[in-house]
Amino acid sequence: MTDRFRLTLAQLNPTLGDINANAERAREAWSAGRAAGADMVALPEMFLPGYQTQDLVWRPAFLADLRTALDALARDCADGPALGLGLPMAEGGALYNCYAVLAGGQVRAVMRKHHLPNTSVFDERRLFASGDISGPYRAGPIRIGTPICEDAWRADVAETQAESGAEMLLVPNGSPYARHRYDTRMAHMVARVVETGLPLVYLNLVGGQDDQVFDGASFVLNPGGQLALQLPAHEEVIETVDFTRTEQGWRAGTGLRAALPDDWEQDYRTMVMGLGDYLRKSGFSRVVLGLSGGVDSALVATLAVDALGAENVQCVMLPSEYTARDSLQDATDLAQRLGVRLDEIGIEGPRAAMQAALAPLFDGLEPDVTEENLQSRIRGTLLMALSNKTGAMLLTTGNKSEIAVGYATIYGDMNGGYNPIKDLYKTRVFQTCRWRNANHRDWMAGPAGEVIPPRIIDKPPSAELRADQRDEDSLPPYAELDAILERMVEHDHSLSDLVADGFARETVARVAHLVAISEWKRYQSAPGPRLTNRAFWLDRRYPMVNRWRDDS
């Protein structure tokens, strides 16, 4: 009887819909495993199509192309280790989220996901049928149970597989990043190990897809919850782990123990990876953005440089009569530190022309926010023209605080194809700028050191759309606003809860009103990387027309 099982784990970054390229990545991983003498090579959940597919899985032609690619993989990977990877499969008139194991030129086993997540960003009950709990399959000398992602967050699937003879658990995942998510995953997997007494392999996707960024951070646990292997977060890795049969059962040998970064670094890398993958997978290589001299656009420019390199980032100043001289100087200073191109387009000419065109219709009406928004929309139009002409994607620069309360101009500063800081509250924008100034990593394409001028971080925020304007003229101080928003948006605290926490009822009611009436703007906002469990879009879904208000 063989007492060794060698498993190659491929923590890789698929591109949704690029079936042939994903299949080729699977072949490369399989070849690496064969060279390492592996008995099996494993890839994550839904690797062959990419994840999340949403309604694409309902297309019969898409499913047919996946099956063609799967059968070709089985033929090409016949002479060597077994190969496991995830994909959707239609059987008997139902569609399942499956994990297929290929060996000897055939599809040897198919596991169907039993528990379908239907919370936060997941709608799997809408897309898939629930499969019966799959029994274990054999790979070399060992019998493996495979709870697919959510299946391992419940006790029943792993328990049933263990009772059916599984000697280890392989858990393929498509689990996107959110702050503190790793601790939650680890707690659930330790519970499965303790309950079954089996070693467990947690294998996650890596890479960005729309608003979600899969952070990898795969690991292997031995019975008792002892960590045998830890793969890095946000990196593609192919790593082999050996399991040995002992008197107590199979045990994983100690392997790579990558250190996981703190929340600040993981947030930052998620934003960089989300931006870089959104562009690359959409066919873009360059970006353009408006640089105001403020902290939000400074952080977005820095993220863009770290994701793409300075040569692929164009920044544009669009000053008006209300733009402070300091703002122009700060934008120039930032551009020089980052090494990016900085252009300037004055908006006074277009603004005068637009005001003249509108004057007959505005006759007798007092100036108000309309004239302020006109400046923002002129800037948005000019930046979109640059994007169209050059083929560079326009980045928008609104933070989560502004997006929450609608402190942004639709068709103006909200213009753009992607927003790297969409899930970052304003107070975290400041802190993230300070973190980036103090830290540099090899995966950052931008320069080390104090790349964001401290004056940009320290000065009072202003939209500069009228004389002596400050954000706090229209909003509570950001420290107070963000404290209210975090409780209201992230945790659904009521008005009375917030008043009990010490916030003024009038302030809370005003913030709640702004959040409610800004839903329509959020529906039209650019996507951005999800950092929290209540990001605007799939995590938090409210109607645009809604007359209910919390009067508790």
Give the residue from 196, 231, 260 where a domain finishes.
Answer: 260
Encode pLDDT of 414-442 as tens digits.
Answer: 999 999 999 999 999 999 999 999 999 99
Residue range 495-510: mean pLDDT, rounded: 94
Considering the domain architecture, whether residues 215 and 347 belong to the same structural domain is answered as no
| 98, 113, 315, 400: the active-site residue | 113
pLDDT over 60 (residue 284): yes
Confidence at residue 418, expressed as pLDDT on a 0 to 100 scale: 97
Considering the domain architecture, whether residues 227 and 309 belong to the same structural domain is answered as no
Q: Which two tokens stand for residue 20?
A: 């042939």
Q: Which has more confidence, 339 or 122?
A: 339
Give the residue from 219, 235, 260 where a domain finishes.
Answer: 260
In the annotation, is 422 catalytic?
Answer: no
Calculate the average pLDDT of the chain. Answer: 94
Of 1-5, 289-293, 300-304, 390-394, minimum mean pLDDT range? 1-5
Asked if residue 548 belongs to a domain, the reply is no
Which among 250, 270, 262, 156 has a CA at the least distance from the CA of 201? 250
Considering the domain architecture, whether residues 285 and 228 belong to the same structural domain is answered as no
Confidence at residue 483, expressed as pLDDT on a 0 to 100 scale: 95
Confidence tier at 216 by pLDDT (50, 70, 90): very high
Q: Is 105 strand, coil or helix? A: coil
Encode pLDDT of 154-177 as tens digits.
Answer: 999 999 999 999 999 999 999 999
**Pairing between β-strand 287-290 and β-strand 313-317 as defined by DSSP bridges:** parallel
Q: What DSSP character marks residue 231?
A: P
Q: How far apart are CA 128 and CA 524, in angstroms?
A: 28
| 77, 98, 124, 149: the active-site residue | 149
Enumerate the H helices of 36-112 as residue ranges. Answer: 60-76
Q: Are 100 and 81 a contacting pair, CB within 8 Å? A: no
Asked if residue 537 belongs to a domain, the reply is no
SS3 annotation, 378-441: HHHHHHHHHHHHHCCEEECCCCHHHHHHCCCCCCCCCCCCECCCCCCCHHHHHHHHHHHHHCCC
Confidence at residue 150, expressed as pLDDT on a 0 to 100 scale: 94
Considering the domain architecture, whether residues 336 and 468 belong to the same structural domain is answered as yes
- Please report, as a single letter, which amino acid is at residue 531: L
Number of domains in the chain: 2
Asked if residue 532 belongs to a domain, the reply is no
Confidence at residue 1, expressed as pLDDT on a 0 to 100 scale: 57
pLDDT over 80 (residue 348): yes
Considering the domain architecture, whether residues 323 and 254 belong to the same structural domain is answered as no
- Please report, as a single letter, which amino acid is at residue 36: A
Considering the domain architecture, whether residues 323 and 240 belong to the same structural domain is answered as no
pLDDT over 80 (residue 462): no
In the annotation, is 459 catalytic?
Answer: no
pLDDT over 90 (residue 362): yes
Q: How far apart are CA 29 and CA 237, in angstroms?
A: 10
**Number of neighbouring beta carbons within 10 Å of residue 386:** 18
pLDDT over 80 (residue 84): yes
CATH value at residue 449: 3.40.50.620
Considering the domain architecture, whether residues 255 and 280 belong to the same structural domain is answered as no
In the annotation, is 113 catalytic?
Answer: yes
Confidence tier at 464 by pLDDT (50, 70, 90): low
Considering the domain architecture, whether residues 179 and 269 belong to the same structural domain is answered as no
Which among 47, 41, 53, 54 has a CA at the least distance from the CA of 69? 47
Considering the domain architecture, whether residues 380 and 310 belong to the same structural domain is answered as yes
List of residues 6+ apart from 185 with CB closer than 8 A? 173, 175, 202, 217
Asked if residue 442 belongs to a domain, the reply is yes
Encode pLDDT of 103-160 as tens digits.
Answer: 999 999 999 999 999 888 888 999 999 999 999 999 999 999 999 999 999 999 999 9
Asked if residue 74 belongs to a domain, the reply is yes
Considering the domain architecture, whether residues 104 and 23 belong to the same structural domain is answered as yes
Considering the domain architecture, whether residues 168 and 279 belong to the same structural domain is answered as no
- DSSP letters for 167-225: SEEEEEE--B--TTHHHHHHHHHHHHHHHH---EEEEE-EEEETTEEEEB--EEEETTT
Asked if residue 392 belongs to a domain, the reply is yes
- Residue-number span of the structural domain to which 205 is assigned: 4-260
List of residues 6+ apart from 464 with CB closer than 8 A? 292, 320, 322, 323, 324, 327
Q: Is 277 strand, coil or helix? A: helix
Question: Crossing angle for the helix pair 295-308 and 263-282, nearest 10 degrees?
Answer: 70
